[in-house]
Amino acid sequence: MRPYKVLLFIAAVMACLAALCEVLPGRVAWGEKELRWPTLADVIETKDNGQGTMDNLVDTIIEPIDTIVELTDTIAAKDTIVPEKPKPVIPKVAVDSVTDSRLFLAAFYEALDHADGQMIRVLHYGDSQIEEDRMSQQIREKLQAQYGGRGAGLLPLAQTIPSRTVRQELWMNDRKITPAQGPRRYLVYGPKRDQRTDGMYGVMGQVAMMNDSLVKGSEAITAACTPLDGRPRYTQWKVFADTSIHYSFAGDTVYLSGKGKVYGLSQQSSTGVIVDNIPMRGCLGLVFTKMDRELLTRFYREQNVRLIIMQFGGNAIPSNQNPGTIQGIVKGLREQVRYIRECAPDASILFIGPSDMLTQTDGEWHTYPMVPYMDRLLRKMALEENIAYFSLYRWMGGAGSMARWQEIGLAGSDGVHFMRSGARKAGNAVADWILSGRTAKGEQTDEVNSESEVVE
């Protein structure tokens, strides 16, 4: 038989097998047995090799865990065979493997050279992964240790989620109250009943209404905000509110009175670096365009915001198995990046992608298929928008690394969130990565961003 006929025969066989994999489910009952074989989606690209390459940048005790490939086997058939849903066919995304995305932090690095004479503000927006000041605390500590600055930065008037750095208590009508008993809050994220239509939220994406008609007596509020280490780590108080709100301070306590909006409080210093922790539980990060442009622009300018960190994406993973949906979310995040850049043209932007996340199938835990896909899309988006990108997924070790983190006590049983020890480790890694992007003279390094990859 001539070579070209052999080639045609092989191609025809492969085409038939591909068609069968596409049409038939990945398993079928045959008598008392069940046969399994790979689907077409399995063959194309639904798994990731998990080979993170951050080892030469960040010292980590986490060893990459290779993806476990399930072998075709026969098992006893159950009474009822339920075909598996077809696995998603994930498009391939070309990702630059040369560009060190920290070059887009040049404006922030330049601003740090002047931190001894002025305040340099860093805002860290994120989902529940940064609640309790997790990760932000380590970024703050490392930046302040090197460039000065004091205080935990922005605090909401009503602190619904406890912080690891500041303990807050509210008083109204001479009695201690819970946040739910105080001034009514509106949030740009969460249930629609708690949202506004005018976008007047402030830089934290929330606002407290003093003298709200639903809360009698809220025109006079006392907020005690005590640093948890027992010493005043700040040198000045700031209140961001309507001009109708009057306030005074006594130690760690602020007294507010009047009728109007309170956007936030801040414990800070007049020089050095201030890092604000702004968690948005359950948020995809698609909310910034709902926030008043003038309010944001004024805060970013007057408070000399020079770095904005956005840490989102994880909340999209558990409920989405469609690559098109992930593409749409990343497109929406691109719009948020552009909006923030318009409001803060002098600030650098850093996007932190989602960590590894686990789901259970047939009793086995494995990485959600969309985690590596979203990670690649987000990095591609970041490079195209000229912003820095840090891949938590790659730094952890890639696919399956969350299981290893669970084993050594760095991640929770849900396979999604870090324990506090894991958050500290991740926060330190981000801070080290930022700081290592410049030399002692403030010049950028030529070090390749080794968290990148090339997908052919």
- In contact, 151 and 268? CB cutoff 8 Å: yes
- Say yes or no to pLDDT of 8 above 60: yes
pLDDT at 247 over 80: yes
Looking at per-residue confidence, does 93 or 5 come out higher?
5
| pLDDT digits 0-9 by tens, 38-75 | 555 444 444 444 443 333 333 333 333 233 233 233 33
Q: Which of 24-28, 189-193, 233-237, 279-283 is predicted least confidently?
A: 24-28
**Structural domains of the chain, count:** 1
Structural domain contains residue 123? no
374/68: higher pLDDT? 374
Going by pLDDT thresholds of 50, 70 and 90, the confidence category of residue 12 is confident
Distance CA 207, CA 84 (A): 46
pLDDT tens column, 315-343 = 999 988 899 999 999 999 999 999 999 99
pLDDT at 5: 73
Which of these, 106, 166, 112, 161, lies nearest to 137 by C-alpha position?
166
Does the residue 184 lie in any domain? yes
pLDDT at 17 over 90: no
pLDDT at residue number 215: 83
127 domain residue, yes or no: no
pLDDT tens for 120-165 read 999 999 999 999 999 999 999 999 999 999 999 999 998 888 899 9
Average pLDDT over residues 361-385: 92
- Asked if 452 contacts 95 with a C-beta cutoff of 8 angstroms, the reply is yes
Q: How far apart are CA 176 and CA 54, in angstroms?
A: 48
Residue 409's region, left for phi above 0, alpha for psi from -120 to 50, else beta, is left
Query: What is the mean pLDDT of the segment spanning 91-100?
Result: 69
pLDDT at 230: 72
Task: Enter the pTM of the model.
Answer: 0.78
Q: Which domain holds residue 179?
A: 150-268
Distance, first Cα to last Cα, the chain = 34
Mean confidence (pLDDT) of the chain:
82
Q: Cβ–Cβ contacts within 10 Å for residue 241, how many?
A: 22
Looking at the chain, the whole-number percentage of residues with pLDDT higher than 90 is: 64
> Is 243 within the bounds of a domain?
yes
Say if 175 falls within a structural domain. yes
- Whether 209 is covered by a domain: the verdict is yes
**Does some domain include residue 66?**
no
pLDDT of residue 389: 97
Tell me whether residue 446 is in a domain.
no
Q: Pick the residue with more confidence: 197 or 86? A: 197
Q: What is the pLDDT of residues 406-447, one digit of tens each?
A: 999 999 988 899 999 999 999 999 999 999 997 533 444 433
* Rounded percentage of the chain residues whose pLDDT exceeds 70: 77
Instruction: Report, as an integer, the average pLDDT of 275-295.
Output: 96
Q: State residue 160's pLDDT score.
A: 87
Break the chain down into helix, strand, coil percent, rounded to 5.
30, 25, 45
What three-state secondary structure class fits 264? strand
Sign of the four-CA dihedral 248, 253, 258, 261: positive
Separation between Cα atoms, residue 209 and residue 260, nearest integer Å: 6
Task: Indicate whether 352 pLDDT > 50.
Answer: yes
